[in-house]
Amino acid sequence: MTRIAVMGAAGRMGKVLIEAVHQAQGVTLGAAIVSPSSSLVGADAGELAGVGKLGVSLKNSLDAAANDFDVLIDFTNPELTLANLQECVRLKKSMVIGTTGLSTEQKHTLDDQAKNTPVVFAPNMSVGINLLLDILHRAASVLQDGYDVEIIETHHRHKVDAPSGTALRLGEVVADAMDRNLEECAVYGRQGITGPRTAREIGFETIRAGDVVGDHTVLFASEGERIEITHKASSRMTFAKGAVRACAWLQGQSSGLYDMQDVLGLKE
């Protein structure tokens, strides 16, 4: 039985993760972590998440829960996530990371740390979006330079990073399939007299509004036709279930950096 710890247990995503762990087979909630200053320390994690008493008290640090979990799920923020990863390496624990907004340098740090413990890192844990990535690569490989590419993403008003990590991953997949460097061809929004679009650019449009969980569309357009590949998430539970699935998969894996494509067996 894989024992899972949830970081940021009092947050919106943390509560859904606790519920997802409670619903899943073959795993159990071993620990739930909140801010050291939180007034919720000591409360029952299940009652906080609305699933009933689970007998798991909220703790204020990973160290305090060191004997209670095998793998940590972290959907917090880049700085805290990297600090938690360093702690997981010290404690010899595995980690599933859904945090977005990491800089290139922070991703390099994550990659280095993952040499010392098994880590699944993905900007989107949804099974559907990861299947879409596989489909998208095939589509872009066929369409190539005859089609303009635009990526449109919509999230709730509280999201702090833009474009979303998922949108950037979609762009990376398209760029790879079309033999482009995303850092060189990405265009993030347009304003004013921009002139005609270049043939090889990949455009990103960001929308922040209301309580939208996450919508992503990749548009391929040429003279006379458009192809739109879209994924819409209506509940955070889809991300939580994917993260829990990744936790179960990690058990027995050797140290290294994995993604949801590995978890789902989509890599050739």
Phi/psi of residue 231, nearest 5 degrees: -130, 130
The answer to whether residues 229 and 241 belong to one domain is no
Q: What is the rounded distance in angstroms from the CA atom of residue 249 to the CA atom of residue 230?
A: 27
Per-residue pLDDT of the chain (268 residues; tens, 9 = 90+): 999 999 999 999 999 999 999 999 999 999 999 999 899 999 999 999 999 999 999 999 999 999 999 999 999 999 999 999 999 999 999 999 999 889 999 999 999 999 999 999 998 999 999 999 999 999 999 999 899 999 999 999 999 999 999 999 999 999 999 999 999 999 999 999 999 999 999 999 999 999 999 999 999 999 999 999 999 999 999 999 999 999 999 988 999 999 999 999 987 6
CATH number of the domain at 258, please.
3.40.50.720
Catalytic residue among 15, 22, 59, 155: 155
Q: Does residue 66 sit within a domain?
A: yes
The answer to whether residues 146 and 83 belong to one domain is no
The answer to whether residues 203 and 144 belong to one domain is yes
Could you confirm whether 159 is annotated as catalytic?
Answer: yes
CATH number of the domain at 134, please.
3.30.360.10
Q: Does residue 40 sit within a domain?
A: yes
Please tell me the predicted confidence (pLDDT) of residue 268.
64
Query: Residues of the chain with pLDDT > 90: what percent?
Result: 93
Longest dimension (CA), the chain: 62
Report the domain count for the chain. 2
pLDDT, tens only, 177-196: 999 999 999 999 999 999 99
**Residue span of the structural domain in which 100 resides:** 2-121+236-263
The residues near 82 (Cβ < 8 Å, ≥ 6 apart) are 106, 109, 110, 113
Q: Does residue 268 sit within a domain?
A: no
Q: What is the rounded distance in angstroms from the CA atom of residue 20 to the CA atom of residue 13?
A: 10
